[in-house]
Amino acid sequence: MSHALVTGGAGFIGANLAARLLADGREVVIYDDLSRAHSAANVAWLRERHGPDSFRLEVADVADRDRLTDVVDGAAEVFHLAGQVAVTHSVDDPMLDFRSNMVGTMHLLEAVRTAASDPIVVFASTNKVYGELGHEPELQPTRYVLPDLPGGVPEEQPLQFSTPYGCSKGAADQYVLDYAKTFGVRSVVFRQSCIYGPRQFGGEEQGWVAWLLLAGLRGDPITIYGDGRQVRDVLHVDDLLDAYLLAVDNIDVAAGHAFNIGGGPVHTLSVWTEFGPKIEQLVGHPVPVTFGDWRPSDQRVYVSDITKASALLGWRPRVGVDEGITRLHDWLLSESELVSRSE
């Protein structure tokens, strides 16, 4: 059986995807440098859940062309999730960001292009490729809204790369699409919004849903960058994995397309004015919060228009915001060591 390759497979989304594939009886190769916090814990969780020999782990850098070429050989699908994930880190070290996101993706695409197995490529891009959108937000009591985009941001929205992260992911996004057009690589791009769920340990720089909920459980002080009324559409990781697998199953129509993938207009949340009360209700006590300056290129509103994914893939989110947050809360509580310490 040809294997499924998951780059970044020891991360939050990657570990959940690997678990889904293994549960489906697939042969899985995880390619990860294990540099991020909790990646080793995710590998241990997968081994405990599915068996110590249930998958092959390749510990290597995403920019290592030879190692990538080796693991792509014989793959049926490549889920490319590896890379640098935080805007702030890209500003601190733009060369590392470029190497991880752009160089790594190019090495992967070249390996796929020459692979005899003709693998499908699913690439995890980001809504940051649209920059600050150029639409004037309207301020309401608990949130910003974009009156001229009531259905969310469509794929026809002009790209506007901003920050090194936006540039590296945006350039990689475009190369993945062009390799479908120029070389016939069966590739699909997902411009992902805020993904959350179990195995997301969260951090101040990335993974804000888990980070804020975990801080609330610990009683740690929270800093919100901006006024807390910025809005995102949030998507449970189980729904994202459904989209990935539907793209593979429908690759004849999905290849060469970019999809905006998030919760859509129905699954939205303002970062603090709406999420904060939910956290306090779940943890049972007030949560201390302060506010800092806006971060570079922070969108006041980002909501995905998911019409295209619905039409071409037959996909829609199934996990509601309250249900998903409660599920994440319960998972965090089950990780007693994580909740009991501040990092």
**Residue 196 and residue 237 in contact, taking contact as beta carbons nearer than 8 Å:** yes
| φ, ψ for residue 101, nearest 5 deg | -90, -40
- What is the pLDDT at residue 223? 93
| φ, ψ for residue 219, nearest 5 deg | 80, 20
| φ, ψ for residue 328, nearest 5 deg | -65, -45
Say how far apart CA 212 and CA 58 lie, in whole Å: 32
Q: Tens-of-pLDDT digits for all 343 residues of the chain?
A: 699 999 999 999 999 999 999 999 999 999 999 998 899 999 999 999 999 999 999 999 999 999 999 999 999 999 999 999 888 889 999 999 999 999 999 999 999 999 999 999 999 999 999 998 888 899 999 999 999 999 999 999 999 999 999 999 999 999 999 999 999 999 999 999 999 999 998 776 678 999 999 999 999 989 999 999 999 999 999 999 999 999 999 999 999 999 999 999 999 999 999 999 999 999 999 999 999 999 877 889 999 999 999 999 999 999 999 999 999 999 999 987 777 765 4
CATH number of the domain where residue 294 is located: 3.40.50.720
If we measure between CA atoms, which residue out of 169, 172, 125 comes closest to residue 13? Answer: 125
**Residue 172 and residue 101 in contact, taking contact as beta carbons nearer than 8 Å:** yes
**31 assigned to active site:** no
**Residue 254 and residue 309 in contact, taking contact as beta carbons nearer than 8 Å:** no
- What is the pLDDT at residue 341? 60
- What is the pLDDT at residue 286? 92
Catalytic residue among 130, 165, 179, 244: 165
Locate tokens 């470029």: which residue?
Answer: 98
Which alpha helices (H) appear in the chain, and where do they start and end?
12-23, 39-50, 65-72, 87-92, 94-98, 104-114, 163-183, 208-218, 237-249, 251-254, 275-283, 307-313, 321-334, 336-340
Radius of gyration of the chain (CA): 19
| Domain housing 216 | 3-340
Locate tokens 């197995």: which residue?
Answer: 117
| φ, ψ for residue 283, nearest 5 deg | -90, -15
Say how far apart CA 13 and CA 157 lie, in whole Å: 26
Indicate whether this model's pTM tops 0.85: yes
User: How many domains are there within the chain?
Assistant: 1
Say how far apart CA 102 and CA 84 lie, in whole Å: 10
pLDDT one-digit tens code per residue, 34-93: 998 899 999 999 999 999 999 999 999 999 999 999 999 999 999 999 999 888 889 999
Locate tokens 């969310």: which residue?
Answer: 152
